[in-house]
Amino acid sequence: MIPFYNRTHAGQHLAAKLARYADRPDVIVLALPRGGVPVAFEVARRLHAPFDVFLVRKLGVPGHEELAMGAIATGGVLMLNDAIISLTGVAPEQINEVIAREQIELQRREHAYRDNQRSPDLRGKTVILVDDGLATGATMRAAAEGVRRQGAESVVVAVPVASADTCDELRSLADEVTCVVTPEPFHAVGIWYADFSATDDDEVRNLLAQARAESHTEASA
């Protein structure tokens, strides 16, 4: 049985697992774009927490882009998986080319999603990092390192579905890891969703705008 209809449904299940963080002034929910955004939007809404994005880009092995050899994140974070690099024989100049290309995309998304809005101040915050699932966990590792560098007091990694091994590995980087389901064999994130259609830039922008509007309405009430 497939556990999730779509990312919104997955976010509802994930929010239930995180209910103890509801209505806490120190909590902020950050999505890893793009697939993590609809999931995190539901989590933030149900926890009554601020919602934003934290930009991370996977560094795919040339010719096998789905295989992560590392990741970059906002704030100059670079994490490389030496085991994957050694196994695949990727040359240093190839790594640098991938980093440069993904840095351009990271900056494009920063401009496209933020719309001149400042990134949130994470100092002293409990940051809940949300994605739609974890396979290797490369991007989530970079995100966890990134929010730590920005002063997060506590880091919670939260996803609807992940491989059990990846969840275990991330516990060394995060204060808490919440995975709704950890099916075995895992194979890939998308097979655990009935609808895993791509999240585009417009959906990301719309959900961020909706969250800002709802936050403004609550503040004015």
Rounded-to-integer distance, Cα 79 and Cα 70, Å: 5
Q: Is 158 part of any domain? A: yes
pLDDT of the residue at 118:
81
Q: Is 54 part of any domain? A: yes
Q: Is 23 part of any domain? A: yes
Question: Which residue range is the domain that position 190 belongs to?
Answer: 7-220
pLDDT of the residue at 214:
85
pLDDT of the residue at 163:
93
Q: Is 1 part of any domain? A: no
Q: Is 42 part of any domain? A: yes
Q: Is 35 part of any domain? A: yes
* Ranges of the chain with pLDDT below 70: 216-221
Is the bond into 34 cis (omega within 30 degrees of 0)?
yes
Rounded-to-integer distance, Cα 44 and Cα 31, Å: 10
pLDDT of the residue at 221:
53
We report the CATH number of the domain holding residue 126 as 3.40.50.2020
pLDDT of the residue at 219:
60
Angle 66-67-69 (CA atoms, 0-180°, nearest 5)? 130
Q: How many domains does the chain have?
A: 1
pLDDT of the residue at 78:
94
CB contact set of 18 (below 8 Å; sequence gap of 6+) = 43, 47, 128, 156, 158, 178
Q: Is 133 part of any domain? A: yes
Q: Is 183 part of any domain? A: yes
